[in-house]
Amino acid sequence: MKDDELLKAITVKAKAWLSEDYDAATRAEVQRMLDNEDKTELIDSFYKDLEFGTGGLRGVMGAGSNRMNIYTVGAATQGLANYLKVAFAELKQIKVVVGHDVRNNSRHFAEIVADIFSANGIKVYLFDDCRPTPEVSFAIRELGCQSGVNITASHNPKEFNGYKAYWNDGAQMVSPHDTNTIDYVNKVKGVKEIKFQGKPELIEFIGAEIDNKFLAKIKTLSLSPDVIKRQHDLKIVYTPIHGTGKHLIPRSLENFGFTNIYHVAAQDVQSGNFPTVESPNPEVPSAMALAIERAKEVNADIVLASDPDADRIGVVFKNTKGEYALANGNQIVMIFLNYLMTRNTELGKLTGNEYIVKTIVTTDTIKAIAEAQKIKMFDCYTGFKWIANVMLENEGKARYLGGGEESYGFLAEDFVRDKDSVSAISLMAEIAAWAKDRGLDMNKMLIDIYMKYGYSKEKGISLVRKGKTGAEEIVAIMKKFRENPPATIAGSKVVLIKDYNSLEEKDLKAGTVKKLVMPTTSNVLQYYTADGTKVSIRPSGTEPKIKFYLEVHDKLKSAADYDALNEASDAKLDAIAKDLGIE
């Protein structure tokens, strides 16, 4: 479609939002965009409808079909309600959980969602205040619900909000339910079909009782209570970065037995404006700066953080030079899984029927650990709904030990089906205590893992491409890499290519092609080189980004070589980025 034809179609679409069906504030905002000579904002707001990605519905708040507002949230909820009534037609009463985070408009959107569900005859359990995302997943399972919605944009900047839709297993929806929901959402033709007038008698508020049950279950995950008794005064700095973890995570740490928890007062303030950070993302050094300063004041053993909806975890500990440094997401998952596998072995809890899960873009060093421990490992697509899907397929057949992804998410329990920083932070503190009890700090423990199972270093690079033109550029980048794959990467020959869009694995050395066994296709490319380098490329499902995941491998012969190997690996990762044209 040519630009003038596109603008004409978008203008017609936008003018429909000037009808009396929309509130006065929305009409005024749309009119402002229509009157503006620069049509960029108008196009970005209306050129498409928000769609479910790996994390559900997510976008910038504002007026328009491509924005988060009561109408896009309303259409999604009405469509989901319509689908639930078909999918669970045999039930006398369909039930859902509705939760939300600290973001601006989150409570308002959550109440709108609750009203629409109830207006459609669906029983709603609405949290009385903001709660961690994993607790919503827990509540769906605990209360025997068929679905649930959490209003959150996770770690995105303050302009964003989102809508995570869950199924009856407490996991974010996968096929066919995600696509079926979209079909039903698309069938909602106009605002008049959205039932905004709620039925209060079908809305029940939940809170403290679910909190207590959730925390009690998390405490059962502890594998080293005797160690914690000896190391209870481990110095822990924790920050919720203005988010929902403020109340439950300190309580969980105390439940585990820790008595020396230091707060970051300025970031205990719950606010959707995230006043102390540019981005409330614990993987960003600037978001952790205040917590690190607090750690320096008290000489903390470990710094722990959660993002606004408390599903992601941030971890900081002292490096070889005695400086506080962020662990990357791959290291975090590796530390967790190494502990869970090792400790279960020590306690004699392994029966040979256990498994772990990681995503295909997460470090392959975890595979080496699992093979050494003789524990089955599953590789799945990015997004925790795919880890949950593996758990669903193995439910009642094998015991889940843990699963995670490089994007700072981990899940240690099977009674939740989304990443969980409440349990993860509690367990990471336990791991720090376990290491200290053995005369190690976190850094030395990490080095020991690398020496035993092989060294790896990772680097993630995201190219942000906003709006319609950005989306088109991302498509073009994927097309370029798919049609013209590199023959070498940083001087090493590409020997294997995996294309999850066609589900083909090409062994360039053997000249063979085989089928990849995955539940569905995904727009992901992976290149493997002769020297063990892995490069993964995929567009984000929730943000206007294309992501590159770079991973190099080597051998670490002694702890004394660790810093030098790190520097050499950083240089190699930079060379790979330059070679790919993404530096």
Name residue, tokens 């722990």: 304
22 touches 190 (CB < 8 A): no
Tell me the CA distances in angstroms from 416 to 136, 243, 327, one per residue in order: 9, 20, 25
Question: φ, ψ for residue 56 (rounded to 5)?
Answer: 100, -140
Question: φ, ψ for residue 169 (rounded to 5)?
Answer: -85, 0
549 touches 535 (CB < 8 A): yes
170 touches 138 (CB < 8 A): yes
Tell me the CA distances in angstroms from 23 to 19, 29, 388, one per residue in order: 9, 10, 39
CA–chain centroid gap for 378, Å, is 18
Q: Strand locations in 360-484, DSSP E?
A: 376-380, 399-405, 409-411, 455-464
| Catalytic status, residue 154 | yes
* Secondary element (H or E) of residue 545: strand 545-554
What gap in Å lies between CA 577 and CA 582, rounded to an integer? Answer: 5
264 touches 239 (CB < 8 A): yes
103 DSSP assignment: S
User: In the numeric block, which tokens belong to residue 229?
Assistant: 């008794």
> By 3-state DSSP, what share of the chain in percent is helix, strand and coil, each rounded to 5?
40, 20, 35
173 touches 96 (CB < 8 A): no
What gap in Å lies between CA 60 and CA 70, rounded to an integer? Answer: 13
Which position among 154, 224, 306, 426 bears the catalytic label?
Answer: 154
461 touches 577 (CB < 8 A): yes
**Residue type at position 393:** E
Which positions ≥6 away from 41 have C-beta within 8 Å?
Answer: 33
Query: Catalytic residue numbers?
Result: 154
